[in-house]
Structure 1
Amino acid sequence: MRIENEKIYPDCPVLARTVEVGGITKSQLIQKLQQHSILMNEYGERLIADEKFTTSDTKYSLQTVELTVSNLGFPDGASTTQIFKRASDLGLELCPLELGAHLRLEYLDQPEGYSGSPIQRHQAPSGSITIASEILKEDDDFPKGFYLRQINGVLWLRGYRADHLHIWNHDDHFIFCQTKKTSKK
């Protein structure tokens, strides 16, 4: 389905959030996820366990925007590279990888993701929100980032894999950062 009159960022509806990031260790972050009964898939566990997944010692706030691939000017979908480049051209930044876990802890009322439609392989699941973040490893078998989802009342922080040929759908949701602000604490 192609949306002809879709508005392009920043002249489109977005969901803006302020997210507190950092100030705790990786093990404390994992413990908080467990305390909130947030589940992770194997890819999410691999990402968070990797030595390149780091947490900031300093707590700071990030302004984020959630928008669709169409809101970036791709009514027919686009690759990750195209999406990230367009977002950068529009003044948006990739998020630190740890944002996914912190946002999952703050966004506990995410709507249910399963719409009753069959699950389609190699596509972002219905109701999921992908965190646009730096890719840690070019290896196609290593997860590229996190996405948030609620399935049957259970909150998930899931990792995903997508190679450079993957085309995201026009209505897939991404989160990008606008600005970084250090918290005075």
Structure 2
Amino acid sequence: MVMVATTDQKARLLDLTTGVLELVRDGKRDPEEVCDVLQVIKGERNFAFILGCKQQILISRFKIRKTIKLGLHKSPEEYRKTFAGKCEIGIYAGQILDETPVSQDEVAIGLVFVMGRQLGFKRSACRDAIYAHALELGLEKCPAEVGPALREQYPDQPMGEGVVIGMDPIADSGGDLRVFGVEHYDGGLWLYGGRGNPDRVWNPDDLWVFALSRK
């Protein structure tokens, strides 16, 4: 049965359309992405239902890049042992690894790799703003264990790629907040600890890892 849009739903659609066009004007959204959203609504006969699910439309472009398992190791020390001879652990990564909660059950988690500009940021932005918008689009912050787990389960990471884990930061031994990063450069495979203070500014081309919402 085709759902007929009510006056209120039509008003909401107008507000949505106006809002996304204003975001394009302000340089906070890619025009092509906005067009994709509007085209879905335009081409859908049951657009009243689609309008109610507009968040799902907005996040439909995010695809799981990699699925990993948490809980394969039961302590930070077990992660350290499995890294031996396979990858390097940065000083700060080692410090926050010691404070990382580790799942005692095996849990699969789907990960999305997304640049800041894919989240709508054309200019550098602070971590708080990046996280807030990622969550608004239906993504989720990663458990901290994703850092070491991804490092172990991503041995074929392309040369030159570095990703930052979208996680709640953990304080290093000096009290500075850190987030995990996973990279592959000339020096090999690395797990590192990047600065995680909320006002640190990140380039729009920095590649983030978030979990895809299970809702």
> Normalising by structure 2, what TM-score?
0.67
The verdict on how the C-alpha distance between 1:138 and 1:93 changes in structure 2, with shifts beyond 3 A counting, is farther
Residue pairs, 1:65-104, within 5 angstroms? 65-104=112-151
Q: Which protein has greater RCO, CA pairs closer than 8 Å, 6+ apart?
A: 1
Shift of 1:93: 0.7
Aligned to 2:89: 40
2:207 maps to 1:173: yes
1:150-172 superposed Cα distances (whole Å, 9 cap, x missing partner): 12151000011143332111111
Residues 11-31 of structure 1, C-alpha deviations (whole Å, 9 max, x = no match): 546552111111422221211
Cα displacement string for residues 75-130 of structure 1 (whole angstroms, at most 9, x for unaligned residues): 112110000000111111110101111111111111222xxxxxxxxxxxxx3100
> How far apart are 1:141 and its partner, in Å?
4.8
Contact 1:6 1:70 in 2 (8 A): no
Change (3 A) 1:92 1:178: same
What does residue range 3-14 of structure 1 map to in structure 2 within 5 Å?
5=31, 7=33, 10=59, 12=61, 14=63
User: Aligned ranges for residues 24-173 of structure 1 at < 5 Å?
Assistant: 24-26=73-75, 27-35=77-85, 37-50=86-99, 53-113=100-160, 127-137=161-171, 141-152=175-186, 154-173=188-207
CA distance in 1, matches of 2:196, 2:104: 30
RMSD (Å) for aligned C-alpha atoms: 2.6
Q: CA deviation at 1:179?
A: 4.3
Give 1:5 shift.
4.5
Alpha carbons 1:6, 1:71 under 8 Å: kept: no
- Does structure 2 conserve the Cα–Cα contact (< 8 Å) formed by 1:104 and 1:157? yes
Q: Helix, strand or coil for the counterpart of 2:128?
A: helix
Supply the distance in 2 between the matched residues of 1:140 and 1:56 (Cα, whole angstroms).
Answer: 26
From 4, 19, 28, the counterpart of 2:68: 19
Decide whether the 8 Å contact of 1:14 with 1:67 is kept in 2. Answer: no
Alpha-carbon distance in structure 2 between the residues aligned to 1:59 and 1:131: 20
Percentage identity across aligned positions? 25
Aligned to 1:116: none
- Judging by fraction of residues, say which structure has more helix: 2
Deviation at 1:4, TM superposition (A): 5.3
Q: Match of 1:100, as an amino acid?
A: G
* CA shift for structure 1 position 139: 9.7
Aligned pair in 2 of structure 1 residues 101, 178: CA closer, same or farther (>3 Å)?
Answer: same
Does structure 1 retain, via aligned residues, the 8 Å contact 2:30–2:120? no
